[in-house]
Amino acid sequence: QKEVEQDPGPLSVPEGAIVSLNCTYSNSAFQYFMWYRQYSRKGPELLMYTYSSGNKEDGRFTAQVDKSSKYISLFIRDSQPSDSATYLCAMGQGGGNKLTFGTGTQLKVEL
Amino acid sequence: GAVVSQHPSRVICKSGTSVKIECRSLDFQATTMFWYRQFPKQSLMLMATSNEGSKATYEQGVEKDKFLINHASLTLSTLTVTSAHPEDSSFYICSARDIGAVNQPQHFGDGTRLSIL
């Protein structure tokens, strides 16, 4: 079993839809959680960073962490074609060092 | 803020060539930088952790003599792929974390696409 599981997609949605992306994990030592967006042939770009259970909102993006269920989510409201990318969840233990990534979910937002 | 620059972005070279990739933190200092490898449609796999002024820590299965890492300053780490072969062709990405930022995330460079003919 992988430490972090993420549905690779692809996920195709119409413009304006609400997108839900999820990851599950098995290591209860993970303390902080990130979502990165990666466009083709580019490095990952940090979208959201959370250090505890609960919700965090930034513009059209909301990150949720449920440590009791070992489950994290990223919601994208009013999705745009420019949101089309691969979304990677990542998590780490204390100290902010080594990260473990999900496989990434490929998202396509269609006009 | 928190910009990481990686150079070159693209390398095409013959088998047997050694290739050096640079990773720079432009607006912050980083005692620790990370080197990842990513195959098409797969996630990032950590290769090694680069520590300023000391030896790098390699992940299991990564050949330290093949992938030489040097972290000579707080803003620069280099990865040298020695005697590269076609199976070394991949997307190499570095990341760095701000030395002054406790429990803050890593910021990534734009990657280097390496193609060995």
pLDDT tens per residue, chain A (111 residues)? 789 999 888 999 999 999 999 999 999 999 889 999 999 889 999 999 988 888 999 999 999 999 999 999 999 999 999 999 999 999 988 655 788 999 999 999 999
Note the Cα A99 to chain centre separation in Å: 13
Structure tokens at A99: 């990260």
**pLDDT cut 70: percent of chain B above it:** 97
Cβ of B6 and A95 within 8 Å? no
On whether the CB atoms of residues B80 and B67 are closer than 8 A, the answer is yes
Q: Is A88 on the interface with B (CB under 8 A)?
A: yes
Closest Cβ opposite residue B43 in set A42, A94, A104? A104
On whether the CB atoms of residues B99 and B55 are closer than 8 A, the answer is no
| pLDDT tens-digit readout, B38-83 | 988 788 999 999 988 888 999 999 999 999 999 989 999 999 999 9
Note the Cα B12 to chain centre separation in Å: 17
Give A77→chain B minimum CA distance, Å. Answer: 24
Task: Measure Cα distances from A46 to A96, B1, B3, B32, B94 in Å.
Answer: 14, 12, 11, 18, 14
Amino acid at residue number A29: A
Q: How far apart are CA A71 and CA A5, in angstroms?
A: 10
**pLDDT at position A83, please?**
97
Cβ of B102 and A102 within 8 Å? no
CA torsion sign for B84, B86, B87, B89 is: positive
User: DSSP assignment, residue A95?
Assistant: T
On whether the CB atoms of residues A78 and A60 are closer than 8 A, the answer is yes
B31: left (phi over 0), alpha (psi -120 to 50) or beta: alpha
